[in-house]
Structure 1
Amino acid sequence: MPSRIRLPEVVLWGTTLAIGAAGGLVLDLLHVPLAWLLGSLGAVAAAGLLGGYQLAVPPGGRQLGQLLLGTAIGLTFTPVVAEIVAGYAPVMVVAALLSILYGVVAAYSLRRTARVDDATAFFSSVPGGVAEMSILAERHGGHTAPVSLAQSLRILCVVTTIPPVITVLGMTGIDPFQPSTLGFDPMGFAALVTLALAAAGLLAWRRIPNAWLLGPMAVAVLVTASQSDLSSMPGGLLNLSQVLIGSTLGLRYRRDRLLALRKFLAPAVLSTVVLVGLNVATGAVIGLAVGLPVPTMALAVSPGGMAEMSITAKVLHLGVPVVSAFHVVRIFLVIGFSEMVFRKIFRRQEQPS
Structure 2
Amino acid sequence: MNLQKGSAIIVRSALKVLVSALIGVLLFHLCHFPMPWLLGPIFAVMISQLTIRTSWGWPSWLRNSGLVLLGAAIGEAFTRAAFTNLGHYLFYMLVLNIVLVLFCVLLAVVTQKVTGLSFITALTANIPGGLSQSITFAEEHREIEIGAVTYIQMIRVLTIVSIVPFIVSGQLVPTVVEKEAAPLWQLAAYILLAFAAVPLGKRLKLPVPYFLAPVLVGVCINAIGIIPPAVPDTLLHMAQLAIGAYIGLLLKPDMIKLPWKVVVMGLVSSIILLAFSYGCAIILSNVLHIDMMTSFLSTAAGGMDQMSLIAAALKVDAAFVTLFQLFRLLFIYFIVFPLLQWAARRVKLRASKVS
Report the TM-score when normalising by structure 2.
0.90
Question: Counterparts in 2 of 1:217-296, with a 5 A limit?
Answer: 217-296=215-294
Question: Is the Cα contact below 8 Å between 1:280 and 1:299 reproduced in 2?
Answer: no
Match of 2:208 in 1: 210
RMSD: 2.4
Q: Aligned pair 1:57/2:58, yes or no?
A: yes
Residue of structure 2 in register with 1:144 after alignment: 146
Q: Say whether the 8 Å CA contact 2:65–2:239 is kept in structure 1.
A: yes
Name the CA distance, whole Å, in 2 between partners of 1:10 and 1:289: 51
Q: In 2, distance between residues paired with 1:116 and 1:105? A: 14
1:99 aligns with 2:100: yes
In 2: Cα distance, 1:325 partner to 1:107 partner = 27
Q: What is aligned with 1:11?
A: 12
Q: Deviation of residue 134 (structure 1)?
A: 1.4
Any stretches of 5+ residues in structure 2 without a counterpart?
A: none
* Counterpart residue identity of residue 158, structure 2: L
Q: Which residue of 2 aligns with 1:21?
A: 22
Q: Deviations over 1:116-169 (max 9, x none)?
A: 01221011101111111112223342021211111111111112222212223x
* Partner of residue 201 from structure 1, selected from 199, 202, 206: 199
**For the structure 1 residues 179 and 139, does the alpha-carbon distance in structure 2 shift closer, same or farther, using more than 3 Å as the test?**
farther
Deviation at 1:347, TM superposition (A): 7.5
In the alignment, the residues of structure 2 paired with residue 285 and residue 58 of structure 1 have an alpha-carbon distance, to the nearest angstrom, of 40
3-state SS, counterpart of residue 116 of structure 1: coil
- List gaps (5 residues or longer) in structure 1: none
Q: Which amino acid aligns with 1:152?
A: M
Alignment-mate amino acid for residue 165 of structure 2: P
Give the Cα–Cα distance (whole angstroms) in 1 for the partners of residues 218 and 133 of structure 2.
Answer: 25
1:174 aligns with 174
How far, CA to CA, are the matches of 1:276 and 1:296 in structure 2?
15
How big is the shift at 1:315? 2.2
Query: What's the CA shift string for 1:255-292, capped at 9, x where partnerless?
Result: 22222454411011222222222222112111111111
Distance 1:224 1:114, change over 3 A: same
Between the aligned partners of 1:207 and 1:348, the Cα distance in structure 2 is 27
Cα offset, 1:227, TM superposition: 3.3
Aligned length: 347
Give percent identity, aligned residues only.
Answer: 24
Look up the match of 1:153: 155
Q: Is the CA contact (8 Å cut-off) linking 2:298 and 2:307 kept in structure 1?
A: yes
Distance, in Å, in 1 between the alignment partners of 2:105 and 2:271 is 14
**Counterparts in 2 of 1:40 and 1:10: CA distance versus 1, 3 Å:** same
CA distance in 2, matches of 1:231, 1:8: 38
Kindly state the Cα deviation for residue 197 of structure 1 after the two structures are TM-superposed.
Answer: 1.2
